[in-house]
Amino acid sequence: MAKGKIISVTSVKGGVGKTTMAINLAGIYYREKKRVLIIDADFYSGGVSTWLDIRNQKDIYMMIDSISNNRYSSITDYVSSYNSGIDVLASPRDPRVALKIDEKYIPMIFDLARREYDVILVDMNHLMNAVNLMILDHVDISLLMVTNDLIDLKNMRNLVQIFKNTDKENYLVVLNCSRDTGRDYLSLFDIRNILKCNVDYTIENSFYIKNIDKYVLDGEILSLNRAINRFHGGDINKLKKIASRLLEEVDVHEKESN
């Protein structure tokens, strides 16, 4: 049976572009004819459905409740479709039930998703709680998003150290300079010294989209938009390289483990 690849997109603070990255990666994989699931694991304030203009009546808590009560039949009962190749497993519609989500169900959800999708993108929040640690422990690879911000970098160094302490090498670091274009306090050399690791990719400030709210209101994915591809071709190509590298790294880790 085919086995889907699970990629988490995470950070150590909010507002660094995690959701934007996860959605753009979904668009790129869709263009490569892959069947994609986005899991919105920001259980308290998830924004994937809002960005994609999906008025979902289903969410991840409903799926967990069905699993725990032996009512689960198919993951298709709990996902909402964006288009023919991208589905969304939404965060809880009622954030109060987020506290009821037990981390033990995360591996079960991943296993069920692997059977139906080629790529599963997990959009996380920045809290290092039990659920998020379980996610990081069971994904195939993590994309760590960081900005040119001293506090952000200091906290990311701590997260990278957790990976190192647990002998995990399944992560890539992306420096997002397109989120806050005026923040260029530290050089790439300085950033690497702070993080004590390599920065694998940099999203340049040229990818700053001034009217990004327009695309959100229209439920559009930037990497699928013709105008964005025309005017930001170099930035989209960078995202394509990141998307390819993520899957390549998963294949390498799988071969090494076998």
How many CA atoms does the CB half-sphere of 156 hold within 13 Å? 31
Asked if residue 87 lies in contact with residue 79, where contact means CB atoms within 8 angstroms, the answer is yes
Tell me the angle at which helices 188-195 and 150-165 cross, rounded to the nearest 10 degrees. 40
Rounded Cα–Cα distance for residues 116 and 40 (Å): 17
- Over the stretch 161-215, which tens digit does the pLDDT of each residue have? 999 999 999 999 999 999 776 777 789 999 999 999 999 999 999 998 888 888 9
Domain count, the chain: 1
Rounded Cα–Cα distance for residues 92 and 169 (Å): 31
- Over the stretch 21-74, which tens digit does the pLDDT of each residue have? 999 999 999 999 999 999 999 998 888 999 999 988 899 999 999 999 999 999
Tokens of 109: 């959800």
Q: Which pLDDT does position 1 carry in this prediction? A: 53
- Over the stretch 102-153, which tens digit does the pLDDT of each residue have? 999 999 999 999 999 999 999 999 888 899 999 999 999 999 999 999 899 9
Reported as a pLDDT band with limits 50, 70 and 90, residue 99 is confident
Strand arrangement of the beta sheet that strand 171-176 belongs to: 80-81, 86-89, 36-41, 119-124, 5-10, 141-146, 171-176, 201-203
Instruction: Give the residues across from 5 on adjacent strands.
Output: 119
The model's pTM is: 0.95
Q: Which pLDDT does position 2 carry in this prediction? A: 59
- What is the extent of the structural domain holding 103? 5-257
Rounded Cα–Cα distance for residues 146 and 11 (Å): 6
Any idea what the CATH number is for the domain that residue 36 is in? 3.40.50.300
